Structures are given as structure tokens and as C-alpha cells.
Structure 1
């Protein structure tokens, strides 16, 4: 009884202020096909297009009414009730972690299924307050909840979402075509590097060169035949850095001189960013340059190495491609390095094939799983369309 009272209080407090935008000004999508009402949170952008593509492939005449920019979807239950009564959608789709309270409450009264996907729950959802209690109650009432990670799945179960209604789907990620490479070159390098530990430092700015070289020295202490493949952001630095490394006792080969990484070579300096697909393929481990210093103007997308089977290391500066880094980290598909001093430790640890394989497999799953996750989110809507018939 007390819990029910808190739920009613929380709902009243949230909905007591109506928006100034009447729902009758929301335009009905053109066409005569079935209607889906959609609300997309700010962090779920990549999911919008992919889920819509799946739905429209299966149901070409589907109409989608997007309420993402309408404040009354969160605050005005009477407006949402009138909208749903007038437009009679087959389902409500919510993407992201935010809850449009008025829309969900109105759908419940009309017995319209609400599917929520691309959702990441927070430990704060387990706390006790009027607002948190309201959020838990709304989540428990969803027709289906598809979460991005195991922690969110655990939280959903702990707050009382029925096991049959919650699924850990993983995130909807941007689908990127793998970078190409010359297959003859790849085979040649694979033969040259057979049995050696090779790692790739991609797009390394001058500020990170010392940390990368120190990390490679740590790798050499673990495996004396280790090879660093180093791509600099400034090609004018190649000659000077080669001279410096040789003066420090390292054996260097330069790609711009067609020098090969023979068995005694310890560092291969690439000739720029034109063969990234080759290096991701031949190096089991990749450090993504610019993420330790924050000098990331040339930083590459993390799904580039992920899609090609290379385990990924990154520093704390991941604002560029932040959403994709968050997906990888949440899936334990990348190794975060908090500082330059810790890079050496991480590289040394990743001379172990089992650890490399675990990271690389998880990263590949995240980077290539977007289409499958989009289908999982779309499936309950397709089921609702089938039940309603033509």
C-alpha cells in the first residue's frame, strides 16, 4: 500500500506541470500503414536509423511518429492519452535510458505495448526516492526491455523487471566497413611476424612518443622479439625519430624506405596513415594514439581495429567517439589505460595470447553486432504488427 502511494505521488509530482505545446499540433505521418510512436533519447542516435531500417524493410508502409523533441511526451499525460486515442499506434518504441513518463503512463492506460531498447541502467536506479520509485515502476510495466550490458541486466532484475521481459541485447553500434588492405602485403607480413608479439600504436602525436617507446621497452622485457609498429601523426618526424631510437639502441625499419621488419627489427615506422587496415590486421594489439595526452585531432575511430580483430588499448581522453568507446568499455572489449606510466604495464600484460583473444573477440562482437541488436529491438514491434494484421 505504501509503495503504491509513493508511485501515485511520484507520478503526480512529475506530471503536475503540463507543457505549453498541445498534442493536437503534432502532425500525423502521411500514409495509411500502421503507426509506431517513437521517442529517442540523446545518447541513442545510432540506434534510431538502424532500428527504423529493420522495421521498414519488414513493413514498407510503416509510419513512424517521432516525439523525441516534444516535451509533452514527458510531462502531459492527458495530451499523450488524446494522441494515442486519435492515432492508435500498434506500439511505442523508446530508445535510450531516459523515460518519457507521460507517454508511458498514457500507453499503459490504452494497453499499448511499450518496447524500450538501447538502455543502460544506473546503480542509482536501486536507490530509494520518489523519483527512483516512479522510474522503477515504469520499467517494471514495460512490455519488453532490452539493455546494453550485463550490469544493466542485473539491475533490471533487482528492481523487479520480470525475467521474461528483459533481455541483454548489447548496444546498437555504428556499422563501419572494415578498412581495406593489400592482401599480398598482409600475407607477407603475417609470415614475417609469425611467432612474434607485434603491437600497433596508431596515430601517435609527438607528445605521446616517449610513452609509447617506454611501453615497447616493457614489451621487449617480456618478449625479446616483440615488434612495435608505429604510425605517427606527423610524417616529418619519421627521420628524426628513427635516428633517436637507433641512438638509444633500438633496431628500426622504415616503411618509406621499403625496409622489412626482419627478426632483429624492434620498431617499424610506417609511412603514414594509408595502410591502417594492414597494420590492424597484422598486429594483435593496438594502442589508439591521442587518448592519453588528449592531443586527439588525428585520433581514429575505435571500431577500425575492433572490426579487424585487434585488441584495443586507450587512454582517458575519449571525448572523440565517446559513445563508441563507452560501448566497448561497458562490454569489457577494450583496456583503459589511466596514464602514460600505465601504458607500459598494459602492453607488457598483453603479450599473453589468452588476454589478447578475449579483448579482441569482445571488441569484434561490439563493432559488428549493430545489425543483430537492431533486429532484436525491432522484433517485439514486428510481433505486434503481425498480431494487428493488415
Structure 2
């Protein structure tokens, strides 16, 4: 694909190339030995986990494949890499290395961009935005992670036929186990009651969780809260606090069951989480409201088991996963205790729960499918280059 850009686009590309990560005086990276096809890749920091999955699948399909991480080279190094006769260039993530893309485009090398996330700033008129628009037009296949990125890619001038929304390459995690016999007994006890789980709740969020449950009870008088305190030592003191508020509490540590009159079931803290996720259609993940998310549970735990997720604004520990869930409409974010109460009350409605839970399950289990969709155009380009 020959490159011809607008004046401001060419200026932006010149500026971007001068800022490339590897200077022209540097030697090109060593080409992997062997006689198999060569795939050049460039992996953004936000796509390292995705690359690991993509690389494994590519190597299963083409054991002879040689993969070289080209980084972000200057023009001379990029041209030297083209001299190694690569079969394709795979870009993963948000970065668009200018010299590498232009060198590949001049040789009509297939360029595949996956795990692509675009921001509204990419449609602006800064030098950087103009350069990125020119680069996007050189790419044969653009696989984006979310609808917003798809819309922005089209506004950037990408050919609609080349843009596909795959969703993100989510980390693949095995669902947490539980005793099926125990789950069956508990499910019988619930008998269709609306239940929700507050998981790994630190002491400074206990009041907000209990307030949210009062809102749920106002919406559905049979609502049941499974409360898993982060610190198991909080179980007994917390039981006294709950009883003093007028609610009826049962304790898992005392082998008590969530009978019809029980309104709060205190679990044994971090144990048996697979059981509680399965029983609760809605889960609030503790630590995300008050800012103490250092010990927060992984959001794909409830997602993989069909529980809709509510969380606060503090999501640094699993930032990528929360971004994936948020972009897919698979989680409800709240800003504080009042919004938490409103969300929990609202999510007593089965249709809203089902939509969130379905979207979350798709994100948490879709890593394998998205990986295959990324690998398909790469393997196709390699096959054409080697026949």
C-alpha cells in the first residue's frame, strides 16, 4: 500500500518518527534463526498479557514461525528489518510505531492491528492525532476492543471493511470451585429470594454495604445479603453490629443457614467464594469504594460465574480488567455509598441483572475466541507469503 498523506499528516509523521523509541544509529535486533516465516510484532505495554496468549496460539498453529518483537524503531532500523523479508507485521495495543508502519506499507507488507483502543483525542488536529490518522489508513485489518474505539477508528479515516470489533483478549481464569452438594442445598433454602454478595469488604465499607442492603430490602423485602468481610476476625463484631441495627443475621462459622427470616448471611471471609458467586446474581467487590483495593478480588471471579458486578471508582489493582468490563457494559460503577445503595436496589430487577451478568461472562470467558480472531488474519497473511 503506497503512502500519501495530507500536509499536516506528513508533518505529524515526521515529528513522530523523530521521537521513535530506537534511534537510527542503533543496530537492528537479531533475526531469530531458522527457515520458517518471520512475523514482526510490536506490543504496547497495555497488551503484554494479550500477546502471551496470541503468541501461544500462533506457535501451536505454526511451530516453525519466527516471532521478532521489533519495538518502536527509527526509519533506518525499520528498513533493515524489512530486509529480513517478514511475512506480516502484527501490532498489539494502542501504540502505532510510525517508522515501522511506513516501512511495511512501502513494501505492501500486511499490517494487522489488534487489541486496538482509540481515544477521542485521536480525531483532533494535533500533530500526534494527524499522524495517527495517516498511520491507521495504512493498516490492512484493525481489530478493536470496544464500540467506542470502533467508532473513533472510522472517524479517523479507517476503511469500514477493515475494522472489526472483537472485544479485548481477556485473561482466561478457571472458575472458582465449590461443593455442588452445598450449592444445591443453599439454592433450595433461597427459594427464589433476591440475593447479592458483598465480597472482601474492608471495615471502612461495612456501613455503606449495610445501607445498600436496607435499600435492597425496601425494594424486595425478602432480599438476602451474603457479606464476606475481608478480615475473618470481623465476623463476630460485625454480627453484633448487624443485629443492633435490627436485621437478622446468620453466621457460616456457626453452621447457621440462610433461612427465610435471615436477612444477612456472614460468610467465613475469603473462603468458599466460588459458592457465594454462584448463589448471588449480583456482587459488589469490596475495596473499590473506599480506595483500599490492594486486596480486592479479581473481577473475573464473579464474572465467570454469572454474577453481575458493582464496583467503586478505585480499580487500580485490576485496571485493565475493569476497563474491559466497563467497555463492554459488563459492570456498574458507583461513586459512593449513596450510588451503591441505588445500584443494589435497582439490580433487584432480573432483566438488568441478566444483561450485566451476560456481558461480564462474555468478557471473562472470551479470551480464547478473541485470540483466535486475532490470529486468523495473521495466519492467513503468513500462508499467502509462504505459498
- Show the counterpart of 2:79: 81
Q: How far did residue 13 of structure 1 move?
A: 2.6
Q: Does 1:11 align with 2:9?
A: no
Instruction: Indicate the residue corresponding to 2:274 in structure 1.
Output: 277
TM-score for both structures, normalised by structure 1: 0.95
| Counterpart Cα distance in 2 of 1:3 and 1:64 | 30
Candidates 198, 206, 227, aligned match of 2:224: 227
Separation in 2 of the partners of 1:14 and 1:270?
Answer: 55
Equivalent runs, 1:149-168 vs 2, <5 Å:
149-168=146-165
What residue number does 2:55 align with? 52
CA–CA distance in structure 2, aligned partners of residues 305 and 318 of structure 1: 16
The DSSP-based 3-state class of the residue aligned with 2:46 is coil
The change in CA–CA distance for 1:21 and 1:194 in structure 2 (over 3 A counts) is farther
Aligned equivalents of 1:127, 1:375: Cα separation in 2: 33
Instruction: Give the secondary-structure state (helix, strand or coil) at the position aligned to 1:319.
Output: coil
In the alignment, which residue of structure 2 is the partner of 1:310?
307
Deviations 1:315-348 (A, max 9, x none): 0110011110111011110000111221111100
Shift in Å at residue 110 of structure 1? 1.1
- Cα distance in 2, alignment partners of residues 13 and 205 from structure 1: 49
**Is this contact kept in 1: 2:293–2:316, CA < 8 A?**
no
Matched position secondary structure for 1:189: helix
Task: Indicate conservation of the 8 Å contact 2:93/2:115, yes or no.
Answer: yes
Task: Tell me the equivalent position of 1:65.
Answer: 68
Residue-pair matches, total: 383
Aligned-CA RMSD value = 1.5
1:44, distance to aligned residue in structure 2 (A): 0.7
1:360-380 deviation digits (Å, cap 9, x = unpaired): 000000000011111111111
The 3-state SS of whatever aligns with 1:367 is helix
State the Cα distance separating 1:81 from its structure 2 match.
1.0
Q: Give the gaps of 5 or more residues in structure 1.
A: none
Tell me which of 284, 289, 292 is aligned to 2:286: 289
CA displacement at 1:272 relative to structure 2: 2.1
Q: Displacement, 1:141?
A: 1.5
Report how far residue 222 of structure 1 moved: 0.3
Distance 1:335 1:212 in 2: 15
CA contact (8 A) 1:23 1:83 kept: no
Matches of 1:190 and 1:330, distance apart in 2? 32
CA distance in 1, matches of 2:200, 2:219: 24
**Residue 16 of structure 2 contacts residue 131 of structure 2 at CA under 8 Å; is this kept in 1?**
no
**CA shift in 2, pair 1:17/1:209, >3 Å:** closer
The Cα shift of 1:181 comes to 0.2
The equivalent residue for 2:316 is 319
Q: Contact 2:24 / 2:75 at 8 angstroms: preserved in 1? A: no
Aligned-pair CA distance for 1:16: 4.1
The CA deviation at 1:243 is: 1.5
Q: Secondary structure at the match of 1:43?
A: helix
Mean Cα deviation higher: 14-23 or 153-162: 14-23
Deviation at 1:3, TM superposition (A): 6.1
Matches within 5 A, 1:11-50: 11-16=13-18, 19-20=22-23, 22=25, 24-50=27-53
SS of alignment partner, residue 218 of structure 1: helix
